[in-house]
């Protein structure tokens, strides 16, 4: 029998059997720090401190709070400076809550989850999934299989998930969990090879954005939170890397990063490849059989959760140069799109000069230096009548595209490749997600 047939969706909330349950008129509230950007957080309400110095991947003790509407404020430990607030209408019958601190849309967010699910039958456990990466990553699919199972045969625990599921009751044991893009099992966002669900354990898998600085927005981190119990961080151990090549005379390129191929076949310049999932950490990059160094970064590394572009540029005279560029692939707001410019143009005896990008004659990126990428600009989605790339110094047109359609919440890069010294600029507009 498949796991899918064994999963039982539980509707509504059961009565909690925990000793932390609250009596009428009072509730129990705790804080879980599911962030990597905030190493230690405090939580206050109505001037009272409810949690102090809650470290990443941990939970505070419960604190009693009266029923009704309360405002909860989060701040860096000991700073007294508020970073996020949420108003929560607490139950009049006394319900324990977990307030989850997480990041989304470049801000600290707070999401409340109830902790009063009834214990499952003896020999079973319960699990639900809460997608708190929604603002950056979007909806996801979640698959689950018994230990030793594989993704191709795994059953869907949730599909196109925009929020929090109800609970599923399953046999206690060890499971393998995968998070993927919607409808695409090859778009792996997180893999947790071993999740132990104990007898009568009630568990929530929380998903948050795994972005590293400004690089990423697609991969997610996981946090396993036992109801009224401990937190277990399930951090992403991968990054996504792709190659963009501008090797003169249609030069070919085959590349690996940390032993993972960045090219499904030999690429012919000018070209932009697809992202490959590679182990995070120091990068060993091999191009056409030779180890390469990244310009300006002798200790190049791929941070967990990051999206990166390896840009290879050569004019056919000088040796190739390699640049590792951060890609901000977080979703823009609905009705908006993100657009950025990558300068991979080569010229006589090396790289060409700065370049700029306009959309319907409005500036999108200005003075982008060789071997760099502009900050992503958020612009209204729709059809751009004229997209232009110009040399910043000479104001020479290098590339023009007509009637370019940008989808709502799409993320796009204009790769400017080719050779502007000969007027042979090559532009490639790529939808990055």
> What is d(CA 114, CA 403) in angstroms, rounded to the nearest whole number?
49
Segment 110-133 mean pLDDT = 96
pLDDT in tens, 204-242: 999 999 988 889 999 999 999 999 999 999 999 999 999
pLDDT of residue 53: 97
pLDDT of residue 194: 96
Token pair 């996981």 in the structure block, residue:
222
> What is d(CA 419, CA 41) in angstroms, rounded to the nearest whole number?
51
SS3 labels along the chain: CCHHHHCEEECCCCCCCCCCCCCCCEEEEEEEECCCCCCEEEEEECCEEEEEEEECCCECCCEEEECEEEEEEEEECCCCCEEEEEEEEECCCCCCEEEEEEEECCEEEEEEEECCCCCCCCCEEEEEEEECCHHHHCCEEEEEEECCCCHHHCEEEEEEECCECCEEEEECEEEEEEEEECCEEEEEEEEEEEEEECCCCEEEEEEEECCECCEECCCEEEEEEECCCCEEEECCCEEEEEEEEEECCCCEECEEECCEECCCCCEECCEECCCEEEECEECCEEECCEECCECCECCCEECCCCEEEEEEEECCCCCCEEEEEECECCCCCCCEEEEEEEECCEECCEECCCEEEEECCEEEEEEECCCCECCCEEEECEEEEEEEEEECCCCCEEEEEEEEEECCCCEEEEEEEEEHHHCEEEEEEEECC
pLDDT of residue 145: 95
- Tokens for 226, please give them: 């036992």
pLDDT > 50? residue 246: yes
pLDDT of residue 11: 36
Say what percent of the chain tops pLDDT 70.
92
pLDDT > 50? residue 200: yes
pLDDT of residue 248: 85
Say what percent of the chain tops pLDDT 90.
74
Q: Please tell me the pTM assigned to this model.
A: 0.91
281: exposed, middle or buried (Cβ count in 10 Å: 0-12, 13-18, 19+): middle
Query: CA dist 11 to 8, 128, 167, 203, Å?
Result: 10, 12, 7, 16
> What is d(CA 192, CA 232) in angstroms, rounded to the nearest whole number?
12
pLDDT of residue 24: 56
pLDDT > 90? residue 254: yes
Segment 261-270 mean pLDDT = 92
6 band by pLDDT with thresholds 50, 70 and 90: very low
Contact 31, 102 (CB under 8 A): no
39 band by pLDDT with thresholds 50, 70 and 90: very high
Higher pLDDT, 160 or 293: 160
φ, ψ of residue 137 to 5 degrees: the values are: -100, -30
Segment 289-295 mean pLDDT = 90
Antiparallel, parallel or unpaired: β 336-343 and 411-419: parallel
pLDDT in tens, 302-339: 999 999 999 999 888 888 899 999 999 999 999 999 99
pLDDT > 60? residue 129: yes
pLDDT in tens, 336-354: 999 999 999 987 656 778 9
pLDDT > 70? residue 292: yes
- Compute the mean pLDDT over every residue in the chain, rounded to the nearest whole number: 90
pLDDT of residue 344: 94
Query: Cβ contacts of residue 427 below 8 Å, gap of 6+?
Result: 389, 398, 399, 400, 401, 414, 415, 416, 417, 418
pLDDT of residue 177: 97
pLDDT in tens, 147-165: 888 999 998 999 999 999 9
pLDDT > 90? residue 184: yes
pLDDT of residue 421: 60
92 band by pLDDT with thresholds 50, 70 and 90: low
């Amino acid at each position: 029998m498949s796991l899918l047939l064994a999963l039982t969706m539980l509707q509504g909330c059961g009565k909690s059997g925990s000793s932390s349950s609250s009596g009428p008129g009072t509730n129990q509230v705790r804080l879980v720090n599911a962030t990597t950007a905030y190493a230690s957080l405090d939580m206050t309400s109505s001037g009272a401190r409810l949690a102090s110095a809650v470290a990443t991947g941990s939970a505070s003790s419960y604190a009693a709070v009266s029923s009704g509407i309360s405002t909860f404020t989060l701040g860096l430990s000991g700073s007294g400076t508020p970073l996020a607030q949420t108003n929560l209408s607490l139950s009049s019958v006394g319900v324990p809550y977990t307030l989850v601190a997480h990041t989304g849309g470049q801000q600290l967010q707070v999401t409340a989850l109830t902790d009063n699910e009834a214990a499952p039958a003896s020999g079973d456990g319960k699990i639900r999934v809460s997608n708190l990466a929604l603002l950056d990553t979007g909806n996801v699919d979640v698959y689950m299989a018994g230990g030793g199972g594989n993704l191709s045969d795994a059953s869907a625990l949730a599909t196109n998930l925009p929020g929090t599921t109800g609970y599923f009751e399953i046999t206690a044991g060890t499971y393998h969990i995968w998070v993927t893009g919607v409808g695409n099992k090859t778009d792996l966002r997180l893999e947790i090879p071993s999740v132990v669900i104990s007898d009568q354990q009630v568990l929530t898998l929380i998903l948050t954005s795994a972005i590293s600085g400004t690089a990423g927005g697609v991969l997610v981190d996981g946090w396993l939170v036992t109801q009224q119990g401990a937190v277990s961080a399930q951090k992403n151990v991968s990054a996504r890397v792709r190659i963009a090549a501008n090797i003169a005379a249609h030069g070919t390129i085959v590349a690996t990063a940390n032993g993972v191929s960045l090219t499904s076949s030999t690429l012919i310049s000018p070209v932009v490849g697809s992202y490959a999932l590679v182990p995070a950490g120091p990068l060993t990059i091999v191009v056409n059989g030779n180890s390469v160094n990244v310009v300006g970064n002798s200790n190049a590394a791929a941070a967990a959760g990051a999206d990166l572009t390896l840009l290879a540029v050569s004019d056919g005279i000088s040796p190739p140069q390699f640049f590792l560029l951060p890609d901000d692939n977080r979703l823009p707001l609905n009705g908006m799109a993100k657009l950025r410019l990558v300068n991979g143009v080569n010229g006589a005896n090396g790289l060409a000069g700065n370049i700029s990008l306009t959309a319907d004659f409005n500036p999108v990126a200005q003075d982008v230096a060789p071997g760099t990428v502009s900050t992503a600009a958020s612009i209204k989605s729709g059809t751009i009548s004229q997209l232009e790339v110009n040399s910043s110094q000479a104001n020479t047109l290098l590339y023009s595209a007509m009637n370019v359609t940008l989808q709502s919440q799409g993320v796009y890069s204009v790769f400017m490749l080719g050779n502007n010294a000969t007027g042979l600029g090559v532009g490639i507009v790529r939808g990055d997600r």
